[in-house]
Amino acid sequence: MDFSLSQRTKLALITNFGWLVIWLIGPTLRYRIENWDDYAAAKQEHGRLIFSFWHNQIFAGMFFWRRRRIVVMTSAHFDGEYIARIIHRFGYGTSRGSSTRGGIRAVLDLSKRLAKGVDVAFTIDGPKGPVYQAKPGPIWLSRKTGIPIFPFHFEPRHAWKLRSWDGLRIPKPFSSVVLKIGKPFVVPPDGQEEEWLDRLQTEMDRLRQEGEQHWATERRRSSHRYRTN
C-alpha cells in the first residue's frame, strides 16, 4: 500500500504512541475473568477459535490476548494500517479486508489460517460501524470451517471514552477490567446467515449489558457501604 510522506509520518507517530500507551497502561490492569472454562474446553476440543468482540474494546483485548499468534481481520483503509502496525508489535498477525472492501478475500485467508491451527479474530462491528451491530464475517467463517465462534466482551471499570465512531474505551491505569466469556458455538454448513447472525448479536449484547451491569452493581454496593459506615 502506497502512502504519501505526510501519511507515513502520521502512521509512525500513531503507531509509536499507541504502542507506548498500551505498554504503559496494560500491565497495570487487573482482569476479572468469568467462564474461562468455556474458552478452555472449546480450545481443547477444536484447537483454534474464531474470536469475536466489539471494536471499542480493542485496547483491553489487544493486551490481554497478546503473543498468541492470533490473526486479526483489519480494515484495508488507512486507519486499518496503523491498527495493523500496532497489533503486530503485540504478537498478532493480520488479514486485510472489511465488510465493504476485500472482505471475501480476507475471509478465505482466515480460513487458511485456521487450517494451519491459528486462532483468528474479528472486531465484529468494524471497521466503521454502526457501533454494536454485528457483521456476518464470523458466521461465514464458522459455516465454512466448522470452527466455533468465541464471543467475549471486556468492560473496564474506569476508562476514557474517545470521540470516535465506536467510542473507543481506553482503560485508566490500574483499573479493573471484567472479561465476560460467552458460550462458543459452531454454525452448521446449512445454517441460515440471518438466524445465526441474530444469535451472535444477542449473545454479544448480553455480554456487554452484563459487563456494564457488573460495575454498576459494584458502584451501588460501594456507595451503600460508604453511607452505612
pLDDT at position 53 over 80: yes
> Angle 137-145/103-115 helices, nearest 10 degrees?
40
**What mean pLDDT comes out for the span 80-101?**
84
d(CA 23, CA 36): 24
Beta bridge partners of 53: 123
Q: How confident is the model at residue 40 (pLDDT cuts 50, 70, 90)?
A: very high
User: Rounded to two decimals, what is the model's pTM?
Assistant: 0.91
Tell me: the pLDDT tens digits for 157-180? Answer: 999 999 999 999 999 999 999 999
pLDDT at position 152 over 80: yes
pLDDT at position 99 over 80: no
Q: Is 213 exposed, middle or buried (0-12, 13-18, 19+ CB in 10 A)?
A: exposed
User: Taking the CB of residue 56, how many other CB atoms lie within 10 A of it?
Assistant: 25
Pairing verdict, β 176-181 and 149-156: antiparallel
Q: Where are the domains of the chain?
A: 5-228
* E strand segments, the chain: 30-34, 50-53, 71-74, 93-96, 120-123, 149-156, 159-161, 169-171, 176-181
For the chain, give the percent of residues with pLDDT over 90. Answer: 77
Q: Give buried/exposed letters for 82-100 (b at 16+ CB in 10 A, else e).
A: bbbbbbeebebbbbbbbbe
